[in-house]
Amino acid sequence: MRGMPLPGRRGFSSAAKNDILSNMAQRNSTLAHLKAGYLFPEIARRRREFAAVHPGAKIISLGVGNTTEPLLPHICAALTEGARRLGAVETYSGYMDEGLPELRGKINEIFYQEHFGIDEIFISDGSKCDIGRLQWLFGPGARPVVQDPSYPVYVDGSVIAGAAGEGIETGYQGITYLPCTKENGYFPDLSKIKDESLIYFCSPNNPTGAVSTQRELARLVEKARSTKSIIIFDAAYSTYIRDPSLPTTIYAIDGAEECAIEVNSFSKSAGFTGVRLGWSVVPHALRFSGGESVHADWARLQATIFNGASNIAQFGALAALDAEGRAEITALTDFYLENARLIRTALKALGIECTGGDNSPYVWAYFPGEQSWAAFARILETCHVITTPGSGFGPAGEGFVRFSAFGHRADIEEACGRLAKL
């Protein structure tokens, strides 16, 4: 295959540039409302800046939530086999739309005890992508509510969808922020939730590492129902929950299927951050305030702007949910939980107050009297360790720093040793 030759890239005169600009398609004005730089590119920029000044420093990252350990053998073999199947005429498959029926059934069995019909489970290329697309269901009229701090896509996606209103110093006027603080045990006061809101809720939480109890989630569901609100429940870290009394899904709560969508993913459980596979649950019982079916709109929207997840990834996910695959998931998440325990122990030995890291891969550390970015800079300068400043997740994250347990064991141990210099 030979591509067509392209003309050379040349600079235009300013007159020609102006002429071109006056004829171009307009930018979506909501993009201009996004606050400066997405958090992680900003951290990467600061890391590059530090490395340029300290070329010999061995920087260890406990910053991003990206998995580091290789795929485990049983799951990896299924992915390889999935690729082989696409290479043979007898087993080749093309678009699979909402997903492989066996996989939808297996997710229903393992995560929801077959509570749903398989058409209520939609396979996707990841939960972040689903959250982005779900925002199209509600559009600029949505009334977003977020935990503060929270995973940035809830806020930034709302801004892009035109639902966030004016940017103000502490966030956006159109978004209701529910502070999750030391004082309230990282479960927010729900009384600020207004009628017909769209509530983003994440448990186990990124970034605080807090996991909501059955009773807390029951209060959330009750509030959503009484305000005719819809919850988008992000359960991306559910496989990190070890305490059997903690709910791994919002549907463990009575009545949740009438007020909640759930998203989840194989990213943090099976190490699929680079493979890409997730799912959403949109129950038939869920209705918009006008009585229309959310399920019908989601099916229509997905069919319009999404052509299904990778078939190879789906074959891998199917293996991840059989007995051997589930044992691999447990081993992998146990590994990261042990990293989290090491980090928490190292911080506590220094008298640094922290939470999370027992049923989640994030440790949320408190640096009283210090701004998050200042603590980030001090840890980088002193220990050559990258973290994530809590304020990047929302105003109530100020004074906190997030440590991620995604790392090789040797790096985690070395980073923990270096933290003693703080």
What residues line the site for ligand PLP (CB under 6 A)? 65, 126-129, 151, 202, 206, 234, 236, 265, 267, 273, 278
237 Ramachandran zone, left/alpha/beta (phi>0; psi -120 to 50):
alpha
Cβ(32)–Cβ(164) below 8 Å: no
Amino acid type, 20: I
C-alpha distances in Å from residue 2, one per residue of 5, 6, 8, 55, 63: 9, 12, 17, 42, 42
Q: Strands 278-281 and 121-124: what pairing?
A: antiparallel
Cβ(326)–Cβ(320) below 8 Å: yes
Cβ(221)–Cβ(118) below 8 Å: no
State in angstroms the smallest separation of the CB of 237 from ligand PLP. 7
Q: Measured from the CB atom, is 313 or 383 closer to ligand PLP?
A: 313
Cβ(296)–Cβ(322) below 8 Å: no
Q: Measured from the CB atom, is 272 or 419 closer to ligand PLP?
A: 272
State in angstroms the smallest separation of the CB of 55 from ligand PLP. 30
Distance CA 324, CA 98 (A): 25
Q: Measured from the CB atom, is 60 or 129 closer to ligand PLP?
A: 129
Q: Measured from the CB atom, is 62 or 419 closer to ligand PLP?
A: 62
Three-state SS annotation for 3-19: CCCCCCCCCCCHHHHHH
Q: Is there a cis peptide before residue 207, judged by omega within 30 degrees of 0?
A: yes
Q: Measured from the CB atom, is 277 or 419 closer to ligand PLP?
A: 277
State in angstroms the smallest separation of the CB of 143 from ligand PLP. 21
Q: Measured from the CB atom, is 78 or 131 closer to ligand PLP?
A: 131
State in angstroms the smallest separation of the CB of 416 from ligand PLP. 22
Q: Strands 230-234 and 198-202: what pairing?
A: parallel
State in angstroms the smallest separation of the CB of 84 from ligand PLP. 25
Distance CA 184, CA 309 (A): 39
State in angstroms the smallest separation of the CB of 212 from ligand PLP. 13
State in angstroms the smallest separation of the CB of 125 from ligand PLP. 8
Q: Measured from the CB atom, is 301 or 422 closer to ligand PLP?
A: 301
